[in-house]
Amino acid sequence: MDLAFSEEQEMLWKSARDFLANKCPKTLVREMEEDEKGYPPELWKEMAELGWLGLPFPEKYKGGGFRFLDLIVLLEEMGRACLPGPFLSTVVLGGLPILEWGREEQKQYFLPKICKGEAILTLALTEPSARYDAASIRTSATPKGDDYLISGIKLFVPDAHIADWIICVTRTAETANPEEGITLFLVDAKSPGISTVLLSTIAGDKQCELTLEKVRVPRSNILGQLGQGWKMVKRIMEWAALAKSAEMVGGNQQVMEMTVNYAKERIQFDRPIGSFQIIQHYLADMSIDVDSARVSLYKAAWMLSEGLPCINEISVAKGWISEAYRRVATRSHQIHGAIGFTKEHDLELYFRRAKAGELFFGDADFHREVVAQQLGL
């Protein structure tokens, strides 16, 4: 495995860093935390024009034809900038499942809209139990003629309040094995019977409670095979865990850099605090966490892009990065002292995102269980 960027990845990385430095200042990040939509439509349009929204999709659907590994490069820069908006929801949770399992007419309809920034998608998976297992799926889809009626409550659905379409995970059959009888539907978010409530979150991101009351969905809107959806969900969770890990690695790197700069500039006892051994060791620990997080991320993303089995590597990456980012942010607060806790300081933005990302599609303990299963335990 070669960890060096290809020429195309290098160009993508540099252009993304320059663009986000100019178009996504922290003033915009804070503004979008208070904004109901949570993203600026004009920036979304510019990202579409740059080809970011279509990056992992084939050219015949107006996409860029890049691999998942290339998407990771872009997501890392988005995490570094704390980019607000429904990119992960639309591209990873919405677009990739359609590309993988959608019928050709579904791909032809949805993917060009995603690539051009004309449609926002998301995934409605977790329910009041907030667990990532098949037994927790109680939202029902009942056949009625050529349609299905979907009823249930979904929690922590990202960007549901602005979504045009929602991939809804439902139960279409009660079976002894809870992983059977799960079906995914493409649901028009403007359908009668759908309501959303924005939740208050630590990161200020836009997660929703989604209520569906006998929402009528055509049978033709099934994504994949009837009753075979849980295998798809597990794959989506792997993509999502890696995508969020990339954002967290980008944030981790930025926290490390701002803390090193602060340690060089902050004077105490007539010398920079970075000259004290305890601060040096703190920063060394942070550097180890940042570098090991990036290696585990890119190893898993490379294996996924190569089509290699990588369930274990994805869980190793997400489990490690979830705790490494929190450790780095905590150490940074210790070095910065009180100033880092103020709303005006950028560090608090990253700390809140570190905690939120830790729980996204499985915390460290969830992924430890996956690794243990892969060990045959």
Q: Provide the CATH number for the domain around residue 101.
A: 1.10.540.10
Quickly state the pLDDT bin for 48 (edges 50, 70, 90). Answer: very high
Those residues with Cβ within 8 angstroms of residue 170's Cβ, 6 or more apart along the chain or in another chain: 137, 139, 140, 141, 148, 150, 152, 182, 183, 184, 185, 229
Share of residues in the chain with pLDDT > 90 (%):
95
Q: Note the Cα 307 to chain centre separation in Å.
A: 21
* Same domain, yes or no: 149 and 257: no
How far are the Cα atoms of 86, 257, 377 from residue 77, in angstroms, in the given order? 15, 14, 37
Share of residues in the chain with pLDDT > 70 (%):
99
DSSP string, 241-270: HHHHHHHHHHHHHHHHHHHHHHHHH-EETT
* Same domain, yes or no: 368 and 276: yes
Q: Is the pLDDT of residue 37 over 90?
A: yes
> What integer pLDDT is reported at residue 150 of this predicted model?
98
* Same domain, yes or no: 155 and 263: no
Q: Is the pLDDT of residue 41 over 70?
A: yes
> What integer pLDDT is reported at residue 1 of this predicted model?
63
119, 150, 171 — which closes off a domain? 119
**Residue 226, both tokens:** 């009837």
* Same domain, yes or no: 152 and 253: no
pLDDT tens per residue, range 98-112: 999 999 999 999 999
> What integer pLDDT is reported at residue 130 of this predicted model?
86
Q: Provide the CATH number for the domain around residue 194.
A: 2.40.110.10
Closest CA to 114 of 133, 139, 94, 97: 94
* Same domain, yes or no: 134 and 175: yes
Range of the domain at 193: 123-228
pLDDT tens per residue, range 167-192: 999 999 999 999 999 999 999 999 99
pLDDT tens per residue, range 282-295: 999 999 999 999 99
